Chains A and B, each alone.
Chain A
Amino acid sequence: MNFTSLSERTPALEIAGLHKRFDRPAVNGFDLAVRAGEFYALLGPNGAGKTTILRMVAGLLRPDAGAIRIFGVDALADPVAAKQVVAWVSDEPMIYDKLTPFEYLEFVAGLWGVDAAAAAARARDLIDWLGLTGHAHERCEGFSKGMRQKVALAGALVHDPKLIVLDEPLTGLDAGSARQVKEVLRARVRAGGAVVMTTHILEVAERMADRIGVIAAGRLIAHGTLEELRERAGSGQASLEDAFLALVAEEAAA
């Protein structure tokens, strides 16, 4: 599916003044705008609030304050409509051990109300694309972490989402599987979809992201292209890792 017509005017994701507190503030006035057709990487040290933000975007947590709009839909006022176009993939693939990948995709398609024939065709494509053809009708209980993550990713794509939200999706994947996942995500962005992803693998963010956001203590402390971040950190031609560490250290010192 091509989302370009949607992408021109409507931002894929707009977050404004987002707050969430557990024992202490986890997200503290977070703002973000991601365009359709954009790959956005969210970086930050452990405990910075990345996962909390993404879980609020996916509708898994309710913010204490702030606004989230997904392709123009107020996700807090109308979560069901917002969820229709979002897919969530976490670092720990949540699939059913006793279902086969094909049955899992059938279930996900049912949840999103996708037409059965279209879902079946898309499921076959995804299973082939992700190299799961030989395992499509085996129960997932014996699958490796990489295979489970691929099944979860196929589930996220089977309903053709416009916004894919991923929390550390490459954790534990081998090089081949990680490349397949990256290719799938790139293809979605080329088709006009938007991807927001957290990662600790800075090389992935450096290579794949159109823009990168750096978050610390629940706030966005810097964002922009790689060059803009380098400039902001005053680190010239240094790697993203150097720029990231400089920005986080600067924030900690402030």
Chain B
Amino acid sequence: MHRFANPARFLRLAAVVMPWTAGATVLLIAAGLFFGLVASPADYQQGDTVRIMYVHVPSAWMGLFVYTTMAVASATALIWKHPLADLVAKSAAPIGAGFTLVCLVTGALWGKPMWGTWWAWDARLTSMLILFFLYLGHMALVDAFDDPTRGARAAAILALAGFVNVPIIKFSVDWWNTLHQPASVVKMGGPAIDPSMLAPLLLMGVGFTTFFVTVLFLRVRAEILAAKIRAIRLTQVRGQGVG
């Protein structure tokens, strides 16, 4: 793991990995959209609105997955003082907030025709909203300090504290099962969803994941370059001060 603590090595790895993940993203999402929007049947109850699912559900998965990534990166940063882990956690937060927002917005668009309301105070919707606020809090805390390392360390502790919330979100369905339908992909006795709908859903899910990896690499690379620019500027300023 500490092999990648070296920024130069990470940048070389990113240059190799990113074209592949970017290409996979394009292919997977294109295939997922084709099977989701064209080749899959409309739901017998929900009609064509069911197709919102192919964006809504993967973005909900990603909202949780990105927070998990952040928590793992934060733990790595706190335990091993891994310099890149801080950057990973910092760069992942806005992406996760984006996925969560997409999930909330598509959920509202789906809820209007199905439930007759934009918003319902149901366990899963509410915990998704809480997750969104957790992301915002993390992003605000990272930027709240003059010293970037101080902000990174405080945010790492916050991410771990907030991570306690992620299982509550995942299992809240079973706790306060109300208006939202119970989990139907991962449950005992196999998925309760037709394979023709499951295939595009999984394609989109994997596509969203490779998209996340691509953007994460991009953002971490930008952070490393920004740190370099900052260092160069500082030496320039010092040089002028002496001269």
Q: Do A and B come from one complex?
A: no
Instruction: Report A's interface with B, CB cutoff 8 A.
Output: none
